[in-house]
Amino acid sequence: MRKKVQESTGEQGFSLVELLIVVAIIVIMAAVAVPNIAGYLRIYKVRGAAQQVAGEIQQARMKAITQNVNSGITFAVVDADSYRWVSDDAQVRGDDPYVGPIHELPMGVRFDAGGGTTSIRFNRLGAACVPGAGTCGAVFPVDFYAASEAGRANLSPAPGTTYIQPVVAGGWVLTVREQITNLTRTVRIEPGGRVSAQQ
């Protein structure tokens, strides 16, 4: 037996009041969600900056190992916003180029200044040391680490400004800070050369 479908004679749709209520709910939800999304993006930015720096330090270490260097490959913080690797061997030989490209931290993220050094050198075994300390070898002039780059005036760190701090237990730590929220993440370099970024 088939049921008879009744046809509707009235018009179907939403009333203006119902539409206004739905729009008000969407606006309230967006007002609650936007600050949370902005906070998440800042956390993501500072975490990504730390991982980017750790990756460049790891690349300097791998270059030292694969090139079987004599003097070393140095990771150098150029200023509070930028960094690069430098081939100490290539500079000694007079090769060109002996520096890697300058990398910039994301806008609003900077290195924390503190007592320590501006560079870490890796030897052919991948171990890390501070140039000029112990058996690590000589420190090259500051302008060596900040070799000329088109479109940039002075790449040298301000006198006395250092960014890589020694850790009591051994090794060094480099801190990146998001300027608006003061969120920080660290990159740790062990004496043996292991590099890790704080999650």
- Dist. CA 196–CA 39, nearest whole Å: 24
54-75 pLDDT per residue, tens: 999 999 999 999 988 888 888 9
Mean pLDDT, all residues of the chain: 80
The pLDDT, as a whole number, for residue 150 is 46
Domain 16-197: top CATH class: alpha beta
The answer to whether 77 touches 86, Cβ cutoff 8 Å, is no
Q: Which of these, 87, 99, 96, lies nearest to 146 by C-alpha position?
A: 99
DSSP H helical segments within 83-177, as ranges? 88-93, 142-145
- Dist. CA 129–CA 144, nearest whole Å: 18
What lies within 8 Å, CB to CB, of 48 at 6+ separation is 106
What lies within 8 Å, CB to CB, of 82 at 6+ separation is 102, 103, 104, 105, 155
Tokens of 178: 């998001």
Q: Give the number of residues written for the chain.
A: 199
Q: Domain residues of the chain, as ranges?
A: 16-197
What lies within 8 Å, CB to CB, of 198 at 6+ separation is 50, 185, 186, 187, 188
The pLDDT, as a whole number, for residue 10 is 60
Classified as helix, coil or strand, 111 is strand
Give the predicted TM-score (pTM) of the model. Answer: 0.73
Beta strands in the chain (DSSP E): 73-79, 82-87, 103-104, 109-111, 119-122, 128-129, 164-166, 172-178, 184-189, 195-197
Residue 1 has pLDDT above 60, yes or no: no
- Dist. CA 30–CA 36, nearest whole Å: 10
Per DSSP, 11 falls in state P
The pLDDT, as a whole number, for residue 76 is 87
The pLDDT, as a whole number, for residue 160 is 60
The answer to whether 119 touches 74, Cβ cutoff 8 Å, is yes
Classified as helix, coil or strand, 36 is helix
Residue 6 has pLDDT above 90, yes or no: no
